[in-house]
Structures are given as structure tokens and as C-alpha cells.
Amino acid sequence: MYIIIALVALVFIVLTGVVISRLQGVLKSINKTDSEEVETSGNKFNGAMFIVILIGGAVSITWSYLHAREFFLPEASSIHGRRTDDLFWFSMGILTIPFIIVNFLVFFFAWKYQHKKGHRATFYPENHKLELIWTIIPAIVMALLVFTGWKAWSDITAEAPRDAEVIEITGKQFNWIARYGGVDNNKLGDYNYKLIDAQNEVGIDLSDENSFDDFTNPSEMHIPVGRPVLLKIRARDVLHSVFIPHMRVKMDAVPGMPTKFWFVPDKTTADMRAETGNPKFDYEIACTEVCGQGHFSMKMRLIVDDEATYKKWVSEQATFLSTYPEYLAKVPENLKAKAMKYVPAEAATPAADSSATSAGGAGASSSLR
Amino acid sequence: MSAIEGLETAHHHADEHDHHHEAQSFWQKYIFCEDHKVIAKQYLITGILWAVIGITMSVIFRIQLGLPDSNLSWLKPVLGGWISDAGKLDPNFYLALVTMHGTIMVFFVLTAGLSGTFSNFLIPLQIGARDMASGFMNMLSYWFFFLASIIMFASLFLQQGPAAGGWVIYPPLSALPQAHPGSGMGMTLWLASMAFFIVSQLLGGINYITTVINLRTRGMSFDRLPLTIWSFLITAVLGLISFPVLLSSVLLLIFDRHFGTSFYLSDIYINGEALPNVGGSPILFQHLFWFLGHPEVYIVLLPALGITSEVIATNSRKPIFGYRAMIASMLGIAFLAFIVWAHHMFVTGMNPFLGSVFMFLTLIIAVPSAVKGFNYITTLWKGNIVFTPGMLFSIGLVSLFVSGGLTGIILGNSALDIQLHDTYFVVAHFHLVMGAASAFGLFAGVYHWFPKMFGRMMNTSLGQAHFWLTFIGIYLVFIPMHYVGIAGFPRRYYQFTSYDFTHKFMDMNMFISIAAIFTFLAQFIFLWNFFYSIFKGRKAPQNPWRSNTLEWTAPIIPGHGNWEGEIPAVYRWSYDYSKPGAKEDFIPQNIPYSQTPESNFPHENELIATEKVIESQNFNDQFKTHH
């Protein structure tokens, strides 16, 4: 790479030198040019430069693309991701044609039709047929691209299948928090941002019985392979954006407006480790909407497990209530019995005691809502 | 006020109006001046100063991105506390830099510096008017811009730093001072500055539109207007419709920040506190912002395309190909510009159906853009091309516009935008198609009209060197940036060390940064050439490019009122280059068909009869409106 930089620097310096030496010639001849003819200093040189750039540009773009290709993301690990990738490279392929044609014509014409003494340009102000042709051809190509894109887009953004694994991901400054529907009922409980505190980071509403077995994880997210995963996305403070590069997933996290994205991951982390030959490979979740100082490091690990491993992992997780039994106080009296199931036995008794003292508070907060 | 002055002049001095103004003080002549030419130069110089600041910022953050291990202690004298003791750039200041770079380049350089300069300078000179419809409003327009500049500049020196939420200032980040240091006083000043900037744009825009519609000289019908004027007119209309929407979104944000309203805020828990705001929507801001933000892209680009049309036709010595198609495509782009804004918001959680609609509308806009590209190429075809620096930059613009525009077709496709949104692919795309292309339009305009502005020529060889270094440099910066984007690198990242998937392309990023520094250094050739030539350049001839438009019939250094004596009448369009049979390869607009029987087409011979009528009109001379 240093060699290339040195080469580029050299080209720059040589160019500057050539131009300055030409400049000397021009300065000398200034007094001579008194004719009516337009001044055409450096015309040959500039015309030739267009051809040099045309050839040099074609070579460098081809070479740099081939060089850069190995660093692109590996094949998408989700079904829709491979579809959008195919579409992307298909569109890029089509667009390369006008890219080459137009740049070739611009540079070639610039060189070919450079000023010649005594020559006169062709007066050619319009040709309706030609204009019609190059209005219609782009329109048709556009229609084709739009249609394929629109089909993909509608499928990707369609309602998630019923059997989708629902996982909530919440963005905050500066990390992600995953919340799962639970070890038993697999349903996410309600939430309310006013219930957020240092422990209850996503504002789980414990007056909803679905929330009793919910568990959260602030550092990694596990998902099952081979079936739809529906991410329910929200933000706690400012805008964030869930970006899973290997899955080709991106969706903003908006405070006050839950968003969602579903996809089917079909390569486990282990598969990818084998495929990439990198035993340390990990899927990552990043943030792509500027959110403050830590925006560049809002990382969460994503682990794609096979179904059995995933089930096992879920069943081993500690529910929110078991980690923080004191929150039992926020559970309404009539549901206490149900909630007790998720509180470790030894913690249940002191928690029940404290519930008496803080019951008033909990009641007040729920009546506030 | 110039109209009033003109009126007085006509009363008291009848024919000697140019002597009337010699008594002007320094302040009236150079500072609070109402002459469109001086205002244009004020815009241009301010724009250039801002460009130096804005591009310098980009170089600093490119060093951070491409050479992350470098020790930046040498910047301490300028940046002070923003450089840590270890010589590292502060992450908050990095965000401030990218934000201010965007704001400055989009609004202060490419909107005010490009459109402000050339609309002001060229509209009266090319349509044959003494000055703008309202010189006073025109002066106010510049001074509001100056006030906006002062406020924005002052914000750079705040302890907490200037605004730092990205140039799009999405709330809630921009609304909550506790979310980021840049969202405090820095954002307040950003919003205040932008409010004044919008006032300036509206004052200017109303003036441009009024002048083009009302003050065209005798015979200057709309189908004889140079394409520059068409582009300025359409740009002004775009600005007039869209800038008020930005003002309203800015005002609502100010309310949210200072008066406790909840337009954009809802369900927020930050710094251990749940905010009381509910019911607002951050997405509302994005809709309002991009309702301006997208037309803004064309506000920046259309004047550049107009300038290019003029420069390419002149220096190809050929009429612009498809004059009417060019106007139609500009009108098409302008109309579509208003109904594509939500393609910036495909992955914001907006209704996917809306995404489909905006994808269709967005891709339609490629058609008029393609027509423009093809028309430029056909204009070059069989031309007799003179590579003036202005011409080189115009040809470069066509290449950049097409290369950058094509990737827009990828990004406008909502399915593909999922992966590419907010990656370096987007950065590469818009820098080529809108940033670099518009900057090339600005350069083309400066090189082309410098002789008219300052009565002197810029150095051609230095101009050509500047072009080649810039053109190559721009491609070296932005082509590799596409690869970085395809690899998924998100934009506005302080560094790429936190993720495994960004643990590559170290050398590519270094390459981009070094190319950016080269390109930056090449701009000093321009700066030297520009300022040196103002004072020491070769004296300009009357019509250095042998061009057809009216400004070259005015004195080499036009005084107040632009033309001595009568304003010229116009008898033909501005693109009669290399007409078969004509003596010269150009026939200026003010030459009647009756004088060029050797080159007239049959339908033009019929127009000779109308020349007497055109000649006898004199409605639009501002110096003669007292009756």
C-alpha cells in the first residue's frame, strides 16, 4: 500500500512539474498572442490527459476492485440477505455499463474533438428521436430495477411469520439490551419507560404477568438458526440503529416508536467459524445512527445457535425477577402467586417482607399510569 | 433601493447616471453595497473562506480515520483541549467536526457560495438588467448570511464545542443537552445561525425570481434565456418552497429545547431520569428536515449544471444539445425533488408501503438526470473543444455527476438501502454526485466569469493543473470509499477498532486519507491563482471566451447599471455557436438576424420582421422607469 501511495505522490509531483514547465512556455508567448482566435494553451496536453485518465482509471478501478473484493463481507448469513446481495451485484453490474459508456464518451470526445485551428464545430442543436431514445431506455432499465427491488422490499418488510422467535432489543447510550419472552411462556411482557431504573434497564412492567419470566442480557444476543427471528426494536434515549452487517439487517431504534425487523438466519456462529476459517469469528450488532460519544463502540455479540443449543441456553437464563427479587413488590397482589414461581426460594421471603413497605409506592406508580 | 436610486438618476442626470455614484463612501461601495456585482463577490469570498475551514475540518477527521495512530499534538495550538495529552482527537470533537463539515459545505459553501455568487452576478448581466429587482433586499440577503456565518463561526470556539449530532441534527440527540456536549450551546447557535441563513436565502430567492420574471431586457423571451438563468430561476423556486419548511422544523426544535414542548420527544429516559415528554415523534423531524434536505441537494446541484451547460456550449463552440430538453429535465428534477424526500428514511421504521412509493418516485428522477448527462455528451460530440480551466471543470462535472449519480440508483432501491444505509457507500455517493460535482460547477463558474468579475484573467496553466490534481484526487478519495461502504463500514465512527467486521481496510482508509490530503493541498493552487489574479492577473479582453451571452457586451469592468447608455436588446438564443455560413464561430445574442443573412435559417428570416418591435420596447430599464 505504501508503494501505491508513493506512486500516486509521484504522479502528482510529475503532473505539477509538467504543468509548471508548460506554464513557462505560456508566459513567454503571452505577448505574441494578439490575434482574435481563442486562446488554446495546453490543448494537446489536456486532450491527451483525458486518454491517460481513461486508461489509467479503467486499470486502477479494475485492480482496486479485485484487491478490495476479498475484504467485503462474507456471503450473507440470512435468506433475505443473500437475495439483496444478489440484487445489489446485479444492479451494480447493470450500472457498470452506463458508467463505462458515459465516462468513455466524455473522455474520448474531449480528446477527439479538441480544438483544431481552422476547424469548425458541427451545428447540431437537437434530435428529437435521439432524445426520445435515451429518455425511454433509462426509463425501462429503471422500471426493471424498481420492480425487482420492490418485490424484495415487500417480502422483507411483510408481517413476520407467526412462529417467529420474538426478541426485543433496546438501544441506549451506549449499549444494546436484549430481552427475551422468557423461559416458560415465551411472551414479552409490557414495558413503560417511566419504570426504567438502574436495574430495570428496559422498563419491564411487572403488573403484566407475561413479564414474570422475561430475562435480559446487556452483552450478547442468542438467536436460533433456520427459523424467523423478529426483532422488536426500541430506544431509551436518542435514536440508534440496529445493524447486523452479516445478516444484512438494519432498522432504526426510535424513542417512543417501536420498530421491527424480521429475518431468517441460516448459518450458525459455528458454521461461520468453519466457513471463514476464523475460530474467533463472531456476529456483531452495531449502531448506525449517530447517538453520541460512544456511537462507534456500541457493540453487542450475536450468537446464532442450533435449535437445541438455543433452547438449552434459554432455559438456563435467570429471569429478571430471580436476579432482582425486590421487584416482586411491583407485582400486583392477585398475581403474586404466579410471580413467586420465578423468584428463588431463599429470596422470596425477604422480598415478600419488603413488599409490605413499598407496596404503597408500587400502587401509586401503577395508578399514575 | 437601487430602483429608487435609478429613478432619481433618471430625473436629475438623464444620461449621465454613471457619474451619480462617484460620491459613494467606502461603506456604501464595498460593505453595505446594493450593487449585485459587489454582493456576488462578497458571497464568493465568504464562500471561499468557509470552504477553506470546511475542507480543513475534513482533513483533520480523515487523519483520524486513515492514520489513527498518528500523534496530533501539532494541532494543539489550534484545537487546544480537543487534542488529548496523548495527541489523540477527542471523540466528541470528531463528531463536531463531521457535523460542521457537512453544515458548512452544504449550506455556506455550496448553497450561499455557489448559488449566491452566480445568481447575483449573472442574473442581471445575462438577462440585461441594470441590477436586481431590489438591491436593498439583496444587500440584506448577504448581511443575514454574514450574521449566520458569524454565529456559526463563534460556535466553533465554545468550551463545549459546536453542534455535533450530524448535519441532519436528528432529535432527540440534538434536543437534549444531557445527551451530548454538542447539543448544548453549540446546537443553540447552530439553530440560530440556520434561522438567519434561511432568512437570507428567502430574501435572495425572492429577488432572483422577481428579477428573472420582470427585468429581462427587450427581446429576452424565456426561450432565449441562457440555461444558467433557467437553473438559477428553478433553484430559487425550490429554495423558496423548501427553506420555510426547514425553518419550521428548526423552530419546533427550538421549542422542544427551550420551552418544554414535545414535538419530537417521547418516552425518553436519560441520565437516570424519565423525561415528562410524551406523544412527540423524532420521525416528524426527519420528514420536515428532508422535505428541505432533498430539494437542497438540487439547490446545490442545479446551478452547477446550469453553469456547466453554458461553459460546455461556449467552449465546445457548439449550441447546447437539446436546449428545451435541458429545461424540461431541470423542471422535472425540480418537481420530483419535492416528492422523493423519504428515500433518506427507508429504515427509520416508516411504513414500508411508503418506502415502496418513495422508491418508485426516486428512481424516476434518474431519467431526467440521464437526459442531462447524454445531452452534455452530445454537445461535446463534433465540437471544437477549447480546454479552458472552466471547460475542464465542466467536463469533470459531467463525469462526476454520472459516476456518483449511478450509485444513487442503488441507494434509491429500498431493499438495497437496508444494508447500505448510513455506510460509507452513501458518503461516497453523495460526495461525488452532489459535493464534488457542485464544487466543480463552482470552480467552472469562477474560472469562466473571473474576467467579468475582476477585469483580469486567471492563469490558465495553473487552472489546468488545479483541475487535473483535483479531478484525479476526487476519484482517488471516493472510488475506494465505495469499497469501504460495501464492506459495511458505518459512517460517523470515530474509529474502526471496536468491531471485528471493521478490522480491515486499514490501508484502504489510509489511502483515502492521503488522497484527501493531496486533493486539499491542490486547492492552494486555486487560492493563489484566484487572489493573485485579482490584483496582478493579465488584463481581460472584452470577450475572452468568445461567448454569446449578454454579460460580455457590458464594459470589461461594468459600473453601476452594468451598461453605459442603452441596455442591449436581444434577438436570438444564446447558443448560436459555429452556425453554418456565419463569419465567426459565435453570434452574440444582441446581433439581430437582419445583420446575419448569410447564416439565418428560413424561420429565422421571418423573425427579422419582429426586430423593429423588440427595438422599440423599453419597459425594463430600471433607470428609465419614472413615467
Q: pLDDT tens digits for B129-140? A: 999 999 999 999
pLDDT at site A369: 33
Question: ipTM of the assembly?
Answer: 0.91
User: Chain B contacts of A289, Cβ < 8 Å?
Assistant: 170, 422
Quick one: chain A helix, strand, coil %, rounded to 5? 50, 15, 30
Q: Does A63 touch chain B (CB under 8 A)?
A: no
- In chain A, residues 302-331 whose CB comes closer than 8 Å to chain B: none
Q: Is the distance from CB of B431 to CB of B105 less than 8 angstroms? A: no
pLDDT at site A119: 87
The tens digit of pLDDT for each residue in B447-459 reads: 999 999 999 999 9
Residue of A nearest to B282 (CA): A254
In 3D, which of A153, A120, A94 has the Cα closest to residue A37?
Answer: A120
pLDDT at B8 over 50: no
The tens digit of pLDDT for each residue in B502-540 reads: 998 999 999 999 999 999 999 999 999 999 999 999 999
pLDDT: is B176 or A12 the higher one? B176
H/E stretch holding B564 reads none
Q: Does A363 touch chain B (CB under 8 A)?
A: no
Distance of alpha carbon A120 from alpha carbon A125, whole angstroms: 15
Distance of alpha carbon B371 from alpha carbon B377, whole angstroms: 10
Q: Which of B422, B468, B506 to mutate to test the interface with A (most CBs of A within 10 A)?
A: B468
Burial of B289 (0-12, 13-18, 19+ CB in 10 A): buried
pLDDT: is A142 or A350 the higher one? A142
- Indicate the residue of A1, A114, A237 with minimum beta-carbon distance to B507: A1
pLDDT at B112 over 90: yes
Burial of B14 (0-12, 13-18, 19+ CB in 10 A): exposed
H/E stretch holding B78 reads helix B76-79
pLDDT at site B3: 42
C-alpha cell belonging to residue A56: 489509467
Strand partners, A176: A171
What is the rounded average pLDDT for all residues in chain A?
85
With an 8 Å Cβ cutoff, are A291 and B494 in contact? no
Q: Does B284 touch chain A (CB under 8 A)?
A: no
Average pLDDT over residues B26-42: 87
Q: Does A365 touch chain B (CB under 8 A)?
A: no
Shortest distance between the Cα of A18 and any Cα of chain B, in A, equals: 9
Distance of alpha carbon B363 from alpha carbon A22, whole angstroms: 45
Q: Does B167 touch chain A (CB under 8 A)?
A: no
Helices (H) and strands (E) in chain B, counts: 21, 4
Average pLDDT over residues B282-302: 94
Q: Does B371 touch chain A (CB under 8 A)?
A: yes
H/E stretch holding A272 reads helix A269-276
What is the rounded average pLDDT for all residues in chain B?
91
pLDDT at site B475: 96
Average pLDDT over residues B227-244: 96
Average pLDDT over residues B436-443: 97
pLDDT at site B32: 84
Q: Does B350 touch chain A (CB under 8 A)?
A: no
- In chain A, residues 6-25 whose CB comes closer than 8 Å to chain B: 8-9, 11-12, 15-16, 19-20, 22-23
What confidence category does residue B619 fall into, taking pLDDT thresholds of 50, 70 and 90?
Answer: low
Q: Does B493 touch chain A (CB under 8 A)?
A: yes
Q: Is the distance from CB of B213 to CB of B312 less than 8 angstroms? A: no
Distance (Å) of CA B217 to CA B2, B120, B323, B591: 17, 17, 20, 14
Percent of chain B whose predicted confidence (pLDDT) is above 70: 95
Phi and psi at residue A114, in whole multiples of 5°? -65, 160
Task: Please count the residues of chain A.
Answer: 369
Distance of alpha carbon B243 from alpha carbon B241, whole angstroms: 6
Phi and psi at residue B268, in whole multiples of 5°? -115, 130
Shortest distance between the Cα of A109 and any Cα of chain B, in A, equals: 6
H/E stretch holding B428 reads helix B424-430
Q: Is the distance from CB of A284 to CB of A244 less than 8 angstroms? A: yes
pLDDT at B5 over 80: no
The tens digit of pLDDT for each residue in B460-510 reads: 999 999 999 999 999 999 999 999 999 999 999 999 999 999 998 999 999
Average pLDDT over residues A297-305: 95
With an 8 Å Cβ cutoff, are B490 and A145 in contact? no
pLDDT at site B460: 93
- Indicate the residue of B359, B472, B545 with minimum beta-carbon distance to A149: B359
Q: Does A264 touch chain B (CB under 8 A)?
A: no
Q: Does B440 touch chain A (CB under 8 A)?
A: no
Distance of alpha carbon B42 from alpha carbon B112, whole angstroms: 10
Q: Is the distance from CB of A332 to CB of A190 less than 8 angstroms? A: no
Q: Does B32 touch chain A (CB under 8 A)?
A: no
- pTM (2 decimals)? 0.91
Distance (Å) of CA A240 to CA A174, A204, A284, B133, B173: 9, 20, 15, 48, 10
Looking only at the bridges linking them, the beta strands covering A215-217 and A240-244 are unpaired
C-alpha cell belonging to residue A366: 401503577
Q: Where are the beta strands (DSSP E) in chain A?
A: 165-172, 175-180, 215-217, 220-224, 229-235, 240-244, 249-253, 259-263, 283-287, 300-305
With an 8 Å Cβ cutoff, are A39 and B500 in contact? no
Amino acid identity, position B205: G
C-alpha cell belonging to residue A227: 427459523
pLDDT at site A33: 42
The tens digit of pLDDT for each residue in B173-227 reads: 999 999 999 999 999 999 999 999 999 999 999 999 999 999 999 899 999 999 9
Average pLDDT over residues A31-54: 73
The tens digit of pLDDT for each residue in B335-380 reads: 999 999 999 999 999 999 999 999 999 989 999 999 999 999 999 9
Phi and psi at residue A304, in whole multiples of 5°? -100, 115
DSSP codes, A299-342:
-EEEEEE-HHHHHHHHHHSPPHHHH-GGGGGGS-GGGHHHHHTT
With an 8 Å Cβ cutoff, are B180 and A293 in contact? yes
User: Chain A contacts of B382, Cβ < 8 Å?
Assistant: 113, 121-122, 124
Q: Which of B178, B269, B462 to mutate to test the interface with A (most CBs of A within 10 A)?
A: B269
Distance of alpha carbon A357 from alpha carbon A338, whole angstroms: 21
H/E stretch holding B469 reads helix B460-486
Task: Please count the residues of chain B.
Answer: 627
Helices (H), B220-322: 227-258, 282-316
Q: Does B266 touch chain A (CB under 8 A)?
A: yes
User: Chain B contacts of A68, Cβ < 8 Å?
Assistant: 480, 483, 486-487, 505, 508
What confidence category does residue B284 fall into, taking pLDDT thresholds of 50, 70 and 90?
Answer: very high
Residue of B nearest to A119 (CA): B384
Q: Does B468 touch chain A (CB under 8 A)?
A: yes
Q: Does B532 touch chain A (CB under 8 A)?
A: no
User: Chain A contacts of B347, Cβ < 8 Å?
Assistant: 241, 250-252
With an 8 Å Cβ cutoff, are B496 and A296 in contact? yes
What confidence category does residue B614 fall into, taking pLDDT thresholds of 50, 70 and 90?
Answer: confident
Residue of B nearest to A291 (CA): B173
User: Chain A contacts of B384, Cβ < 8 Å?
Assistant: 113, 115-116, 119-121
Distance (Å) of CA B454 to CA B75, B116, B412, B537, B540: 36, 17, 43, 9, 9
Average pLDDT over residues B376-404: 95
What confidence category does residue A354 fall into, taking pLDDT thresholds of 50, 70 and 90?
Answer: very low
In 3D, which of B103, B108, B101 has the Cα closest to residue B61?
Answer: B101
pLDDT at site A300: 96
pLDDT at site A20: 60
pLDDT at site A23: 55
User: Chain A contacts of B420, Cβ < 8 Å?
Assistant: 88
CB A224: neighbour CB atoms within 10 A?
20
pLDDT at B19 over 60: no
pLDDT at site B10: 39
Shortest distance between the Cα of A128 and any Cα of chain B, in A, equals: 8
Distance of alpha carbon A171 from alpha carbon A254, whole angstroms: 9
pLDDT at site B616: 82
pLDDT at B60 over 70: yes
Torsion over CA: A46, A52, A55, A60 (sign): negative
Residue of B nearest to A92 (CA): B410
Q: Does B507 touch chain A (CB under 8 A)?
A: yes
User: Chain B contacts of A276, Cβ < 8 Å?
Assistant: none
